[in-house]
Structure 1
Amino acid sequence: MAEKPTPKTPESAFTLPSAMKDLDFTKLFKDMKTPAMPDMEAVLAAHKRNLEALSEANRVALEGAQAVARRHMEIMQSTMSGLTETLKDISVSDAPAARAAKQADMLKQAYENAVSNTRELGDLIQKANSEAMEKLNHRFSEAMTEMKALFKK
């Protein structure tokens, strides 16, 4: 009978160096301290509260945008009816000097209304954004406190 050749170990096979063959890995890893895993239920509950806060902030922002859109529509309707009245007033034949003075007054009033309306819309937008950010900042602060408590356990 022919003797079978001993199989060669592949080059990719891992072999321990001779100095490590006497190490007891069980004993080595038994004394190793691993970090504790956080309470996953607490982490998931915190994540749920984060999503709820984000949803609430989005709701506040959407309501703010709707309020701005409603007020903008009211302003546009008011401006259009005012323009109709202005055109009626201008169409009445007056002396050229009186007509020019009336047009200047109307232009001044239109400019003041535009500035006032722009300021009002800007205030509405700022209020909605502030409320939404306040909700997010509050939740962020809570989340940081919760995370500190989780890592202390």
Structure 2
Amino acid sequence: MEPKDAANPFAEFSKMFEQFRLPGFDVPAVMEARRKDVEALVEANQTALMGMQSLAQQQAEMLRSTLAELQSVASKQAAAGGMPSTQTAELVQQTLHKSLADLQQLAQAAYKSQAESYAVIAKRVQENVDELKAMLQRKP
């Protein structure tokens, strides 16, 4: 039994389909198109994964930063030993506003990541349409 080529899983399918030659059915072209489809899906998934990892890292850093700021405010208040002052309330409010701005930044990053993944798939769909048009134009 021949070893399978992990780099080109479509080679086996091509050999199998070439045994059943059908008029007007270009096996290599079909297999190449499907290979490109799989590559586009892999690229889209990689783009989405990198975007998700980036978002997770940003979220973790923002959480650490916010908690450190709030801990600092709480420590200062505990050291003062009194009721929260207006300055403390303002610091907490600023920290929360910063957190909301960070969340907006995360939402924009998520949108960008999704848009990039969609662009990869949309490009491949357009290529499929162009390939189909070219195949139909070659037929008399």
If you compute each CA radius of gyration, which structure gives the higher value, 1 or 2? Answer: 1
Unaligned runs of 5+ in 2: 1-21
| 1:66-85 pair list within 5 angstroms | 66-85=53-72
Among 35, 59, 73, the residue aligned to 1:86: 73
Q: Measure, in 2, the Cα distance between the counterparts of 1:69 and 1:50.
A: 28
What is the TM-score when the length of structure 1 is the normalising length?
0.70
Unaligned runs of 5+ in 1: 1-34
Per the TM alignment, residue 67 of structure 1 is displaced from its structure 2 partner at its CA by 0.1
* Equivalent residue, structure 2, for 1:107: 92
Per the TM alignment, residue 36 of structure 1 is displaced from its structure 2 partner at its CA by 4.8
* Equivalent residue, structure 2, for 1:58: 45
* Equivalent residue, structure 2, for 1:19: none
Bigger share in helix: 2
Per the TM alignment, residue 66 of structure 1 is displaced from its structure 2 partner at its CA by 0.1
Q: How many residues align?
A: 117
Per the TM alignment, residue 113 of structure 1 is displaced from its structure 2 partner at its CA by 1.3
Question: Alignment identity in percent?
Answer: 25
* Equivalent residue, structure 2, for 1:43: 30
Query: Secondary structure, in 3 states, of the residue corresponding to 2:25?
Result: coil
For the 8 Å contact 2:69–2:95, the answer to whether it is kept is no
For the 8 Å contact 1:38–1:151, the answer to whether it is kept is no
Q: Which runs of at least 4 in structure 1 moved beyond 6 Å after TM superposition?
A: none
Q: Measure, in 1, the Cα distance between the counterparts of 2:24 and 2:100.
A: 58
CA offset digits 1:63-113 (Å, max 9, x no partner): 0000000111111111221122111111133765xx330232023112211
